[in-house]
Amino acid sequence: MRLKAAVCYAPRDIRIEHEEIERLGPGDVRVNVAYCGVCPWDLRVYLGLSSSVHYPLHMGHELSGVVTETGAEVHGLRPGDRVCVDAIRRCGTCSACTRGLENHCANADFSRGGFATHITAPASNVYPLRDSTPLLHAALTEPLACILRAQSRLALQKGTTALVLGCGPLGLLHLQALISQGMRVLVSDPLPQRRNMALALGASVAFAPSSGDLAVGVNQYTDGWGVEAAIVATGAVAAAEEALPLLAFDGKMILFAGIHPRANLVLDPNAVHYRETWITGSSDYTRAEFMQSLELIQRGELQLTPLITDIFALDHIAEALAAVQSGERLKVVVQCNPDLDLT
Ligand SMILES: [Zn+2]
Ligand SMILES: [Zn+2]
């Protein structure tokens, strides 16, 4: 049996190939991929901006689909089940995994890509969906899991005022997840259409960065106190520098997005000292956060449809990547099996 998959051979060289399908182990599940979201990481790999990857490679890790086959030792999953797949395999035994930090697993295996007609995964990485959960929404489980990790690291109290910098799909998910926990959210983004979307999704106010409005506006909206949290959901170091002086005493800033190419963050150490500022980051997600994310999606309370602006067929993967690169679209998703019942 053969599958169709997108293979990135070198920067800006991605091709659709027909490959022999992986053998199904006794604990494995084979899934027909329905949708796979394009992550900024996929784009970085495609553009040759990731130093840690070796070509050729398969990409795509934000996926949902339908089970087609299960190994002899798999229980609780059957062909026809609609599922969400965690495409990244973690070892469970390295120093990070045994400390509950499996997001830093030393042996994490990213080699199976979701930009393919099929994917094989251990049953423990395959999560069944409720009938009411659209496959398209389930493809957002992985990015939302990253968001929930960041927000759990911030450990914010209900009623907190947070500032989200960057209203791309991830920033807009941050916004919604914060609102669902009872926070007041201010946002900042240079693109007017993104600011409007943030307002439609419940932001209290939306600012254009570097216009001078941000500092004045935050001051006004918080009665001079500042924001208790700033989430930097953009790869621009300037956003982090802009956010720092807007933090309240004991305020927290989290660097949620990688910054590429690398840049230095200029900060005044005295401001951190005297204002008791917390600065942290977050990367990836744990299994518990993945499950929590799926539960939140399955509850159906988040507005996910407006975040998905484009769906491309697998054969048009290069166009999907270009759409992400344009910086003007929100979530771009690849539909991997046109024949699949996607209801
Ligand atoms: Zn991702
Ligand atoms: Zn590990």
Which ligand number lies closest to the CA of residue 99? 2
Q: pLDDT grade, residue 119 (50/70/90)? A: very high
Task: Clarify whether residues 51 and 156 are in a common domain.
Answer: no
How many A from CA of 61 to the centre of ligand 1?
6
Spatial contact of 197 and 172, defined as CB atoms under 8 Å apart: yes
Q: What is the pTM of this model?
A: 0.96
48 Cβ contact partners less than 8 Å away, ≥ 6 residues apart: 10, 11, 12
Q: Which domain holds residue 26?
A: 2-140+304-335
Task: Clarify whether residues 122 and 160 are in a common domain.
Answer: no
Which ligand number lies closest to the CA of residue 97? 2
Structure confidence by residue, pLDDT tens digits, 174-196 = 999 999 999 999 999 999 999 99
Task: Clarify whether residues 120 and 13 are in a common domain.
Answer: yes
- In the numeric block, the tokens 């553009």 are attached to 47
Encoded amino acid at 27, one letter: G
Structure confidence by residue, pLDDT tens digits, 76-88 = 999 999 999 999 9
Task: Clarify whether residues 131 and 156 are in a common domain.
Answer: no
Tokens for 64? 């949902």
Task: Clarify whether residues 134 and 172 are in a common domain.
Answer: no
How many A from CA of 171 to the centre of ligand 2?
29
Task: Clarify whether residues 250 and 149 are in a common domain.
Answer: yes
* CATH at 7: 3.90.180.10
* CATH at 243: 3.40.50.720
Does 343 map to a domain?
no
Task: Clarify whether residues 132 and 160 are in a common domain.
Answer: no
Give residues whose Cβ lies within 5 Å of ion ligand 1.
Answer: 39
The residue among 234, 204, 193, 146 whose CA lies nearest residue 242 is: 234
Number of domains composing the chain = 2
Which ligand number lies closest to the CA of residue 61? 1
Does 152 map to a domain?
yes
Task: Clarify whether residues 123 and 189 are in a common domain.
Answer: no
Does 293 map to a domain?
no
How many A from CA of 50 to the centre of ligand 1?
14
Average pLDDT over residues 83-101: 96
Task: Clarify whether residues 310 and 330 are in a common domain.
Answer: yes
